[in-house]
Amino acid sequence: MGIEALGFIAATSTPTSTETDKLAMTDSKSVAIIGAGIFGLSLAIALRDRSKQGPWKQSTSSSYLADYDDPAADDVQAASADHNKIFRASYGKEIHYQRLALESRRSWVLEDEKRGSTEQDDGRDVRLFVNSGMLRIQPSDLLATLEKETLANMELDGIRDTQFVKSDPADCERADKLGWKDKILNLHIPNSAESTYEAVLDSMAGFVRCMAADKGVKFCFGPEGAVDYLVKVESKLEPNKYKVTGLKTQDGVVHHADSVVVAAGSFSTQILPELSYHLESSAGSLATFKIDESNTELWDKYSPQRFPVMTWKSTPRDISGNDTGGIYVLPRTPEGLMKIRYRGIKWTNFQPAPQDTPFTQDGQWSVPLPVEKCSLLPEPALYAIKQFVSIFLPEFENTPFFSTKLCWYTDSLDNSFVIDHVSTYAEKSVFVCTGGSGHGAKFLPVLGKHAADIFENGDQSSSFMRPFWRWRPDTPRRNGLEEGPGGPRDISHK
């Protein structure tokens, strides 16, 4: 099948009576993690760290991750394989994600401090977290409902003073004193001589870079990291259930493990079809422009020091309560790349599903396109990006794209992650850690900590995210997952 990644963390423990429920540990337990993206890597690091303290006692330093493809390569479909990702804590009513983002922000900043990462005198910026700010542009000259919800929750958490509403004189005065005023941009609404878009500058936001940091995890790429299938046997402890005992990779090797974690992003359903009801593979549309360093005017204008991340909801909340039309641009990278991503339409690719798939729509499910077909964007995406460029990046209006790409995400029923043991498998032998829904990357420093606590403790987990990430078979299919094949998002026949 050639799907994603394989990883091991070896540990030992001497369980107490209260610890026997935690994976029913014996003297030594092994975990195989399928997926070396954000979710798999973060969990691998967290389990490695937890193995140094009870109840896990590390016997050998053997954190290992492998993937069929190098995540940093340009031809990888996964959305997490990227130059940079937005960091934000703006989540409307979802204050639990706001708080998780703030926890993650503290970890990003601390990691940079540990590494001594700063903006260098020669202009190189080697920070992992870049606090460029983020300008949330509204659909009109008024604050949208989602924005009002976000500001209310930031007020509740005592961080409203980090937000600057363009039309609020007090906010603008405070932004001027703190050095943020120049990033509150006046952007004129097309065909409206006087009006400008309302906007909110978030001084806590910015972006995080995809850089390799030594965390004691070894990577290996190629067929030895490509999963063929999970190895199952009948459980002796739980009748009428199968236990997963490991997995077989494309090179023919069977890797035994006491617990297998599926963290394979948009390929997760293909590895574990039981996820077919909970998740759907969908693509976002990415386009880049390239600025030459010799063009000092554009190089300086779109640097992180002068230009914020910009996001735009091009349409107001619809009658069903959905916020659509999302598109954004990031400041240029050190290589001069300006990245624009459109998620207003989440593209699907419906194909015939295996006969034993628990949930299908007309016998089909959405899976990522082959990588060779991911370089062309659908016409509606091109139109939306060009419209965005004409309004907000006029210098690039007649400039050809440097690159275009479809990046594959894993959308869940409600945009919350799916991090839990799969109860249809015996002895807690299968754990899922996936469903990023386009907003998981910024949580890299803390996602694994919360996931590892759920992995070890289940319903006794101390993670405040436990109620939101559990296996939820009774949640209705929405968030677009109800559409199925042949809908306006399905590009399988286009």
CATH of the domain at 27: 3.50.50.60
Last residue of a domain, one of 411, 428, 461: 411
Which residue, 295, 318, 325, 345, is CA-closest to 391?
325
- Are 436 and 402 found together in one domain? no
- Are 189 and 296 found together in one domain? yes
285 within a domain of the structure (yes/no): yes
- Are 364 and 447 found together in one domain? no
- Are 335 and 264 found together in one domain? no
Task: Please give the average per-residue pLDDT across 4-20, as a whole number.
Answer: 39
The total number of structural domains that make up the chain = 2
Q: Which amino acid is at 273?
A: P
Give residue-wise pLDDT tens across range 232-286: 999 999 999 999 999 998 889 898 999 999 999 999 999 999 999 999 999 999 9
- Phi, psi dihedral angles at 29 (to 5 degrees): -130, 140
Confidence check: pLDDT of 12 > 50: no
Task: Please give the average per-residue pLDDT across 416-434, as a whole number.
Answer: 97
With DSSP H G I counted as helix, E B as strand and the rest as coil, what are the percentages for the chain, rounded to 5?
A: 25, 25, 45
Which residue, 340, 310, 348, 343, is CA-closest to 324?
343
Last residue of a domain, one of 387, 411, 435: 411
Q: Residue 21's pLDDT band (boundaries 50, 70, 90)?
A: very low
- Are 308 and 392 found together in one domain? yes
Q: Which amino acid is at 40?
A: G
- Are 199 and 219 found together in one domain? no
- Are 443 and 460 found together in one domain? yes
Give residue-wise pLDDT tens across range 292-321: 999 999 999 999 999 999 999 876 655 555
CA 466/CA 10 separation, integer angstroms: 25
Tokens of 473: 């078979």
Would you tell me how many other CB atoms lie within 10 Å of the CB of residue 494? 9
- Are 145 and 256 found together in one domain? no
391 within a domain of the structure (yes/no): yes
Would you tell me how many other CB atoms lie within 10 Å of the CB of residue 362? 11
Confidence check: pLDDT of 386 > 90: yes
322 within a domain of the structure (yes/no): yes
CA 324/CA 342 separation, integer angstroms: 11
- Are 377 and 311 found together in one domain? yes
The strand pairing partners of 361, in sequence order, are: 364
97 within a domain of the structure (yes/no): no
CA 256/CA 411 separation, integer angstroms: 30
CA 406/CA 81 separation, integer angstroms: 12
Computed over every residue of the chain, the mean pLDDT equals 86
- Are 307 and 391 found together in one domain? yes
CA torsion, ordered 21, 23, 28, 31, to nearest 10 deg: -160
Looking at residue 76, its pLDDT comes to 60
- Are 131 and 37 found together in one domain? no
85 within a domain of the structure (yes/no): no
CA 110/CA 174 separation, integer angstroms: 26
Domain that holds residue 135: 112-209+281-411
88 within a domain of the structure (yes/no): no
Confidence check: pLDDT of 15 > 90: no
Among the residue ranges 214-228, 268-282, 423-437, 471-485, the one predicted with the least confidence is 214-228
Exposed (0-12), middle (13-18) or buried (19+): which is 232, by Cβ within 10 Å?
Answer: middle
Please state whether beta strands 430-434 and 259-262 pair in parallel, antiparallel, or not at all (unpaired): parallel
Tokens of 351: 């194909």
How open is the CA angle 381-374-264, to the nearest 5 degrees?
110
Q: Residue 409's pLDDT band (boundaries 50, 70, 90)?
A: very high
Q: Residue 328's pLDDT band (boundaries 50, 70, 90)?
A: very high
CA 407/CA 411 separation, integer angstroms: 13
CATH number at residue 300: 3.30.9.10
Give residue-wise pLDDT tens across range 87-111: 999 999 999 999 999 999 999 999 9
168 within a domain of the structure (yes/no): yes
Q: Residue 79's pLDDT band (boundaries 50, 70, 90)?
A: low
- Are 253 and 331 found together in one domain? no
